[in-house]
Amino acid sequence: MQALVIVAHGSHLNPDASAPTYAHADTVRETGVFDEVATAFWKEEPSFREVLRTLESEEVYVVPLFVSEGYFTEEVIPRELRLEGWDVDAWDSDGTSATQATFAAADVDKTVHYCGPVGTHDAMADVIVRRAESVTGDPEVGPGFGLAVVGHGTERNEHSAKAIEYHADRVRERGRFAEVRALFMDEAPEIDDVTDHFQSDDIVVVPLFVADGYHTQEDIPEDVGLTDDHREGWETPATVDGHRIWYAGAVGTEPLLAEVVLERAADAGAEVGDALEEVRRRTRVAAGEPAPGPAGTGD
């Protein structure tokens, strides 16, 4: 038997923080490729400490729903899962290249495949593009459009900016969007000046965050100038300095992210059959349709 565990931060304060985690877990459940699919949280229940004991499977694939490698993925999660002999070197990562490492857990008789976070997987580039499609309702969006991939910046996590730039580069290389930029909240180039960085009239702004919350629903909309007061919401698109800004909300809420979760598990040796293709197909954006799934864009 094989199990998938999606681990995420969760929140004591925000009831929506766990919603994307549940949604992606359900998408994977419906593919039927895992005998068990569980979720666990730092701030909610079950905790990282107690999730493994709820499972029957001997092989467990743990996929962190985090945007980058750092404190949580390197220290908190392995410690709380009681991965025996964990050392960050086991991932052999340059900060964005972790795939997986295999451990025993101290409190259960299981093999735990501890995967790199979803946020650094190459397939995230597809999710960012899909996010642009879903927020514009245009499966062909790209030509004439600018795309801003937004991250926290270095102040919070040394690897965070690296991951944002990596994905921006990859999307840019595809030549689909007229312009692609990596912008940050804490460092230059800053999201506050988003219109300075684009020639295109239309700019899609995709924040590389797991869940909608304070940053994606309050900070960024106000910083970008979508609204003066986040409580009053904003238009999609909103006009800022003569540009149309299509603000997407957290990329983690995009249904296709479930496919990245599966990719992570598959890279670690999980049997996923044709589930990758199935999830891609089921989460596709049809022309003219509004954004599917749990995407809350605050308007």
Residues that bind another protein (CB under 8 A): 8-15, 17, 22, 26, 42-47, 49-51, 53-54, 56, 65-67, 71-72, 75-76, 79, 107, 119, 156, 209-216, 250, 252
Q: Name the one residue in this structure whose structure tokens are 């459009």.
A: 145
Q: Are strands 238-240 and 179-184 parallel, antiparallel or unpaired?
A: unpaired
Q: How far is the CB of 214 from another protein (least distance, A)?
A: 3
Q: How far is the CB of 287 from another protein (least distance, A)?
A: 30
Pick between residue 16 and residue 190 the one whose CB is nearest to another protein. 16
Pick between residue 119 and residue 142 the one whose CB is nearest to another protein. 119
Query: CB of 195 within 8 A of CB of 181?
Result: no
Pick between residue 34 and residue 66 the one whose CB is nearest to another protein. 66
Q: How far is the CB of 261 from another protein (least distance, A)?
A: 14
Q: How far is the CB of 200 from another protein (least distance, A)?
A: 27
Pick between residue 11 and residue 99 the one whose CB is nearest to another protein. 11
Q: How far is the CB of 247 from another protein (least distance, A)?
A: 15
52's CB contacts (< 8 A; 6+ apart) are 5, 60, 81, 82, 105, 107, 108, 110, 112
Q: How far is the CB of 69 from another protein (least distance, A)?
A: 13
Pick between residue 54 and residue 97 the one whose CB is nearest to another protein. 54
Q: Please give the C-alpha separations between residue 44 and each of 19, 21, 52, 210, in angstroms, as whole numbers.
A: 12, 12, 15, 15
Q: Please give the C-alpha separations between residue 265 and each of 60, 133, 144, 193, 258, in angstroms, as whole numbers.
A: 9, 26, 36, 38, 11
Q: What are phi and psi of 85, to 5 degrees?
A: 75, 15
Q: How far is the CB of 205 from another protein (least distance, A)?
A: 15
With the C-alpha atoms ordered 67, 70, 71, 72, is the resulting torsion angle positive or negative? positive
Query: CB of 285 within 8 A of CB of 41?
Result: no
Pick between residue 75 and residue 289 the one whose CB is nearest to another protein. 75
Pick between residue 170 and residue 215 the one whose CB is nearest to another protein. 215
Q: Which residues of 263-275 are buried (b: 16+ CB within 10 A; e: fewer)?
A: bbbbbbebebeeb
